[in-house]
Structure 1
Amino acid sequence: MIPLPQVSQVAQTIQLALAPVFLLAGIGAFLNVCTGRLARVVDRARFVEQAVLETRGREHDRMVAEIRKLDRRMTVVNTAIFLTVASGAAVCLVVILLFAAELFDAHMGTPIAVLFIMAMLLQAAAFITFIVEIRLAARTIHIRNEVLYHQAEAEET
């Protein structure tokens, strides 16, 4: 039978697990931001997709170029989401191993440290991917010259 740990040992383990749990909250918030951006890109892509089918000439070419950029952005945001979820899963494993090490009196310092490092590397990769998506979005946000310099025609009286 597994000897049950003392309440003070469990309390100490909970204190050790508190930082990774707060990290999970931050990861969740970042995941929320990524999914929000993905939703906006998908909404825009659906609109542009319909416009591609209905336009001709230069306007059609502009819509096709935009849908390609939106497709690239969706891929990049999905990658950031994947990396963030993988990071969160690694943090969850850290917490599980902290408690397992206490419960089974196992020496798991190295696996816990490796998992935490892996979680940070995954999250850093997610942040870098997110920056790439932001840069892609910034490059596609532009107002055409014909709109910028458009002047309304004077009304004839």
Structure 2
Amino acid sequence: MQFSPAVSTIADTIQLSLSPVFMLAGIGALLNVLAGRLARVIDRARELEQLHPRSTGPEHDRYVWELRILDRRMKLSNIGMLLAVSSAMITCAVVALLFIAVLGRFHIGRYVAVLFILAMVLLTSSLLAFLLEVRASLRANRVRVELLEKR
């Protein structure tokens, strides 16, 4: 007789997979934020690239300085997105492996745990890249001292 898991076994597996699925929702939200920030950085870089050739003196130096920060922000956003997508893919593999383990009666809990830990490390690294990108944006968006009127 062929093995057919009980509905309760499938229901238990679905319950086990809920945490990784919620994690996927969070990763999706993070990717949305990162993509939005990257789009704004790209728009600003394009604007400065048009102003750059026509500028001279301190204005030119300011554009170069800001373009360097924007370049760093683009790199950090891309790294964050790569790490988040990698985390999401591994999380999907965790969910699939949970079902494969139940349906095939495989004892692969250790591998599932290691993959889930890897997904969390990648997600944490993505959040770190996001934090560094935000810090870089704050550096670029401070009000210049020469514009502040001291009393």
Please give the TM-score of this superposition, normalised by the length of structure 2. 0.93
Q: Could you say which residue in structure 1 is the equivalent of 2:141?
A: 141
Letter in 1 for 2:71: D
State how far apart, in whole Å, the 2-side matches of 1:53 and 1:7 are: 68
State how far apart, in whole Å, the 2-side matches of 1:76 and 1:22 are: 25
Unpaired runs of 5+ residues, structure 2, are none
Letter in 2 for 1:82: L
State how far apart, in whole Å, the 2-side matches of 1:14 and 1:145 are: 57
Q: CA distance change for structure 1 residues 88 and 96 in 2, over 3 Å: closer, same or farther?
A: same
State how far apart, in whole Å, the 2-side matches of 1:146 and 1:114 are: 53
**1:86-134: CA deviation from partner (whole Å, max 9, x where unpaired):** 1111110110000000111101101100000000100111111111111
- List 4+ stretches of structure 1 deviating above 3 A: none
Q: Could you say which residue in structure 2 is the equivalent of 1:94?
A: 94
Letter in 2 for 1:124: T
State how far apart, in whole Å, the 2-side matches of 1:146 and 1:116 are: 50
Say whether 1:36 aligns with 2:71. Answer: no
Letter in 2 for 1:103: L
Unpaired runs of 5+ residues, structure 1, are 151-157
**1:69-94: CA deviation from partner (whole Å, max 9, x where unpaired):** 10011001110111011111111011
The alignment's C-alpha RMSD in Å is 1.6
Secondary structure of the residue aligned to 2:123 is helix
Letter in 1 for 2:122: L
Question: What displacement does 1:6 show?
Answer: 1.6
> Is the CA contact 1:2–1:104 (under 8 Å) kept in the aligned structure 2?
no
Q: Could you say which residue in structure 2 is the equivalent of 1:131?
A: 131
Work out the percentage of aligned pairs sharing the same amino acid: 51
Say whether 1:21 aligns with 2:21. Answer: yes
Letter in 2 for 1:64: V
Q: Could you say which residue in structure 2 is the equivalent of 1:9?
A: 9
Letter in 2 for 1:110: R
Question: What displacement does 1:2 show?
Answer: 5.7
Q: Could you say which residue in structure 1 is the equivalent of 2:106?
A: 106
Please give the TM-score of this superposition, normalised by the length of structure 1. 0.90
Q: Could you say which residue in structure 1 is the equivalent of 2:72?
A: 72
State how far apart, in whole Å, the 2-side matches of 1:84 and 1:45 are: 24
State how far apart, in whole Å, the 1-side matches of 2:102 and 2:3 are: 11
Letter in 1 for 2:118: M
